[in-house]
Structure formats: structure tokens, C-alpha cells
Amino acid sequence: MGDQITKDPYISHLELGEPDKTFLDSNELIINMGPQHPATHGVLRVILKLDGEKVLGTECVIGYLHRGVEKIAENRTYTMFNPYVDRMDYVAAVSNGLGYCEAVEKLLNVEAPPRAKYIRVILTELNRLASHMLWLGTHALDIGAMTPLFYTFRDREEILKIFEKYCGARLTTHAFRIGGCQYETYEGFERDVKKFLDCVPPRIDEYEELLTTNRIWVERTRNVGKISAADCKALGVTGPVLRASGVKWDIRKAQPYAAYPEFEFEIPTGANGDTYDRYMVRMREMRQSLRIIRQAVERIPEGPIMAKVPKVMKPAVGEVYHSIEAPKGELGYFIVSDGSTQPYRVRVRPPSFVNLQALDVMVRGQLVADVIAVIGTLDIVLGEVDR
């Protein structure tokens, strides 16, 4: 058995000595976590080098969910590629769509009308809440608290219902079009959203009651998977992980897009960069999202929802990079146009993929159980990592 696993080409990075005849005789233990493992959030394979329970090194093997999304883009028109981006980060499909639409709009020199921008903000922030709720549920489940999962899924359901009423789809919504939105808000949209806004804060209190001051939760997360601001910057880590390390960087504020400049909200930051801080940052972000949605729903302007966009899109030769603050971090689209109806190249900068790099830094020297906690706190979606 020891032979089989050490023949794996991925293991060479771990600098193993000569493999022993049986793994029980050796001090160092190689464990293959995933691709089928309940806590790797999909098909992530992590090879762990262990000394007892202590982690000496990790090696992530990705690509089990690779679908060639970027290559597909080169054979589709700009409009046809729009639904594909939803399949990358499937728990935050609206954000993906927003990033892509805005990137193409930038390339076309089109701007969405104000009402469309407001609708975009409302749906994107609802999606951020849904994504964070899913993160919280699964993260807590990984650490052993199974009940928050069901509470967060109950509340996420309300968001998905709003999506379903708005555009007919729950998960891969394809809610936005290049140049605005396809659909006008449905009758009672504002009422539904307001009702949701009223019922969610006590629910978030409920999650916090279960976890925030729970001794076991605090012990399991505090000083676990620490990462410094410098390391974050060096690795290109963004999103709540970066903010928990104390860097006040949020693209919604730094490079505002959609209607974000018109809303008041704070950027929650942490101090230690440990798992507990990341938990707190995300919890506070959920409340900030509620604040943004409330402002947007109250001030949503009337007007058209679609800008004038040519039926056949042929952007001028050139390239554009546009990034948005997805729930998991900076989601960027780099699109190169050769003047035809199809993009010459689309490159996605997925937050999950970049953040996953930090795994090794965060878990080295810690225990096996912390690897699970850290994978959870990084909030990765394998569809986005592999694309």
C-alpha cells in the first residue's frame, strides 16, 4: 500500500525519503484526503504528510471538475457564453454573471441603466448572503456542529425562492444580460425582499448564538489556520480571508462597480487572520449585505432595465479586465476581443483557486482536524477552482 501511494507523481513535492515496506513502520504518514471525502467540499484532493496528527506538508491536486470553461468561451458568442459562467461558482452564480456582463459592457462601452444596476446589486447581495450561509453551514458541519447547516439552508431557501420567482432558476440563475437585465422585477418583488430582510437578522443572531461564544467553537477556530497580511498579499488571497488578516480591501469600495458607490456600508476586518476572525468577518458581512439590500430596495429608481446593445456583438479589437467582489474574493474577467463575434480569449481569475494556494501556508504545523477547518474557512467551490 505504501508503494502505491508514493508512486504518485504528485507526492514527489513532499520530499519523502525511501518508502518503508509497510506504512506502519515509518514515522511519517502520507494520507490521501479526497477526491471523495466528505469535508473537501467537492472533488478536491489533498495529500497530507503527517507526523502523527501533525501536518508536515500538503499538496493540493485539482482538476477533477475541469470542464474547460475558458476554452468553451472561444467558440461561443459573447451572449452565448453568459450562462456558462454561472456554472463556475455555482453557489454564487449571480456574482459570476455580474462580473462577466460588466466586463463585456466595458468592452462594448455600454452602461447598464440605473434601475438595472439596482436590481443587480439587490440580487448580487442576496446571492452573497446565500453563499455565506452555505459556507457557514458546511464549515460548521466540518467542525462537527451539524445543526447550523439546517438553519442556514432553511434561510437560504428563502433567497433561492426569490431568485426562482425572478428568473425561474434557483442556482444557475443567468439573471443578467449584457447591457442590463432580461427581466423586470416581478409583482411583489420588493415586498418579498423586505420580508426577507426583516426575518433574517434574528436568524443570523441564532447562528451566532450557536457558535460565536461556544467554547468548543472558539477553541477549534481561534489561532487555527493563521495567515498574515503579508502572506495574503504575496499569495494574492482576496475576499474575507484577506480582510480577516486586517487588510481593508473590498472591490466594492476600492473600484466601485454597478450601483455600489451609492450605498453606505462598512468593510468588516479582522485582526489575527485566524479562522475565528474569518468567521466573524463573514458574519458581519452578512449584516452589511442586508444593509445594502435595504438601501437598494428603498431607493430603487424607475426606468428601463436594458441599455441599447447591438443584436450581434462585435466589440472593437482590444482587451479588458474587470473584477468584482464575489462572496469569496476578487472575481476577475480578462477578455481579449479580436473584433469578431466571439472572444479571442477569456481568462477568469477565480477567488477560490487563488485562495486555495494559501492552504499549505495555513495548515503547516497544525493538526489534521485543522486542515478540515481551514478548507472550510477558505470557502472554496471546486467548480470555480477547476473551471
Partner 1 sequence: MLDYITSFLGMNTTPGQAGNVFWAVVYIFVVFGGVSVAVVAMNWLERKALAHFQVRLGPMRVGPHGLLQPIADAVKLLTKEDIIPEEADRFVFWIAPLIILCASFTVYIVIPFGPTHAITDLNIGILFMLGVSSLSVLGVVMAGWASNSHYPLIGSLRSSAQMISYEIAMGMAVVSAILMTSLNKSGTGTLSMIGIVEAQEQQQIWFLFKFFPLGFIAFAIFAIAMVAETNRAPFDLPEAESELTAGFHTEYSGLRWSLFMLGEYAAMIAVSSIAVTLWLGGWLRPFPNTLTGETWDLVFSLLPGLTFLALAAIAFVGVIRMPKHPYFRIQTAGLAGFGAVLGLIGLVLFVPPVRDRIQDIFWFIAKVAVFMYLYIWYRATFPRYRFDQLMKVGWKVLLPTAIGVLILTAILGIVL
Question: Which residues bind to partner 1, rule: CB under 8 A?
Answer: 1, 23-24, 29, 31-32, 37-39, 53, 140-147, 149-151, 154, 210-211, 214, 216-217, 219-220, 367-370, 372
State the Cα–Cα distance between residues 102 and 112, nearest whole angstrom: 9
Q: For the CB of residue 51, give the shortest distance to partner 1 in the complex, in Å.
A: 12
Q: Could you tell me the smallest distance in angstroms from the CB atom of residue 142 to partner 1? A: 5
Torsions phi, psi of 263, nearest 5?
A: -115, 150
**Closer CB to partner 1, residue 80 or residue 146?**
146
181, 120 in Cβ contact below 8 A?
yes
CA distances from 100 to 91, 171, 349 (A): 16, 17, 11
Q: Which is nearer to partner 1, 216 or 230 (CB)?
A: 216
State in angstroms the smallest separation of the CB of 24 from partner 1. 8
How far apart are CB 42 and partner 1 at their closest, in Å?
14
Helix 368-378 × helix 114-143 angle, to 10°: 170
Q: How far is the CB of 254 from partner 1 (least distance, A)?
A: 35
Q: At what angle do helices 147-167 and 114-143 cross, to 10 degrees?
A: 160
CB nearer to partner 1: give 24 or 316.
24
Residue 224 or 361 with smaller CB distance to partner 1: 224
Residue 350, preceding peptide bond in cis (omega within 30° of 0): no
Q: In whole angstroms, how close is the CB of 307 to partner 1 at the nearest point?
A: 43
In the complex, the smallest distance separating the C-beta of residue 216 from partner 1, rounded to whole angstroms, is 5
Residue with smaller CB distance to partner 1, 14 or 31: 31
Greatest C-alpha distance within the chain: 73
**CA 203, CA 208: separation in Å to the nearest integer?**
9
Rank residues 14 and 210 by Cβ distance to partner 1 and give the closer one: 210
Which string of b and e fits 149-181 if b means at least 16 CB within 10 Å? Answer: bebbeebbebbbebbeebbeebebbbbbbbbbb
Residue 89, C-beta contacts closer than 8 angstroms, at least 6 positions apart: 95, 96, 131, 326, 328, 331, 350, 352, 381, 383, 384
**Residue 61 Cβ vs partner 1, minimum distance, rounded to whole Å:** 17
Residue (49 or 177) nearer to partner 1, CB: 49
Pick 23 or 344: Cβ nearer partner 1:
23
Helices (H) and strands (E) in the chain, counts: 16, 8
Rounded Cα distance between 61 and 345, Å, is 25
Smallest gap from Cβ 230 to partner 1, in A, equals: 27
147 CB burial (10 A radius; 0-12, 13-18, 19+):
middle
- Residues 86 and 172 sit within 8 Å (Cβ to Cβ): yes
- Distance CA(264)–CA(168), nearest Å, equals 30
State which residue, 166 or 217, has the beta carbon closest to partner 1. 217
Instruction: Tell me the C-alpha distance between 361 and 231, whole Å.
Output: 8
CB of 239 to partner 1, least distance (A): 23
Q: What is the rounded distance in angstroms from the CA atom of residue 350 to the CA atom of residue 359?
A: 16
CB nearer to partner 1: give 173 or 221: 221
